[in-house]
Amino acid sequence: MDQKLKISEILKKYTMIIALAVIIILFTVNTGGKMLLPQNVNNLIAQNAYVFILATGMLFCILTGGNIDLSVGSVVCFVGAIGGKMMVEMGISPCLTLIAMAIMGMLVGAWQGFWIAYVRIPPFIVTLAGMLMFRGLSNVVLQGMTLAPIPDQFLVLFNNYVPDFFAVEGFNLTCFLVGVIACVAYAFIVFNGRRQKLAKGYYVEPLTGVVVKMAVICVVLLSFMFRLAQYKGIPNALIWVAVIIGIYRLPPRPPQAATFTLWAAMRRQQSFPASIPTGYISWPT
């Protein structure tokens, strides 16, 4: 019975990973192995890097409030249309354009957040309206036309590759070494975190399960970096994805600041206890 429960828990916890593995296997078999060719792996990253970034932001949205943003695709299209207009037709430098695009994206998020947080319209309704509105605005900005050519200074930020500092013929050794370093760093983080939990008396997973899980992740990572090393190495798009994920992994704010934010949010929603105790002060209602 316990064994069945453990298997059930594993299936629930790793459902998406299992599904991804099944999909990769099916496509690899049906394409005669072309799915995992080095160039195709690279193309998948280059063509879907923006999806990885959007998924990272969406995960943050779902975990913090249980909400979802239906307008992300339309907002990306709208902001990209404005950026294209600025670079191609107005001749503005790519650096200033990127800053303007980031500000525009934040303003769009603040606008939709206002209707959700203060007017109390459900996020599904607000972002559904945003999806339709910004899709239409994108057509207004572009007038149904394609903008070209995009300046090389902009393309080089995303379409180039990290150079191989060892200059090995036919194999990007720098790319593979980055994978090795990433595996070592991951193992250190896992074991160090386990050691700290044991020192504080917290429950930790069995060592065998931790090692197996870590070994599988490292094998997948090394295989992935090996494939990239067989082509041109690490694409810049992958670096940008790693930077975005790293930003979301920054340490949280101090407890008092987080508590004050929670208190302010509950004040707005008129659902709070008599006081919120912290290590420093109790916030009265």
Instruction: State the pLDDT confidence band at 283, using cuts at 50, 70 and 90.
Output: very low
Helix (H) or strand (E) holding 99: helix 94-117
pLDDT at 277: 42
If one compares 159 and 97, the residue with the highest pLDDT of the two is: 97
- E strand spans, the chain: 275-277, 282-284
Mean pLDDT of the chain: 84
Residue found by looking up tokens 């998924």 in the block: 55
Between CA 248 and CA 262 the distance in angstroms is 19
pTM of the model: 0.76
**Residue of 134, 162, 135 whose CA lies nearest to 42:** 162
Q: Measured between alpha carbons, how far is 20 from 129 in angstroms, rounded to an integer?
A: 31
Q: What is the pLDDT of residues 44-90, one digit of tens each?
A: 888 888 898 888 888 888 887 778 889 999 999 999 999 999 999 99
Residue 130 has, within 13 A of its CA and on its CB side, a CA count of: 29
**Euclidean distance between CA atoms 170 and 159, whole angstroms:** 20
Q: Extract the runs of DSSP E, i.e. beta strands, from 90-234.
A: none
The string of pLDDT tens digits covering residues 209-244 is: 889 999 999 999 999 999 999 999 999 999 999 888
Q: Is pLDDT of 155 > 70?
A: yes
Per-residue model confidence (pLDDT) at position 253: 54
Q: Is the pLDDT of residue 129 over 90?
A: yes
C-alpha 237: how far from chain center: 12
Q: What pLDDT is recorded for position 110?
A: 94
pLDDT for res 259:
46
| pLDDT at site 246 | 83
Q: What percent of the chain has pLDDT over 90?
A: 51
| 3-class SS shares of the chain: helix, strand, coil, % to 5 | 75, 5, 25
C-beta separation of 179 from 225 below 8 A = yes
Distance CA 161, CA 45 (A): 12
CA distance 169 to 171: 6
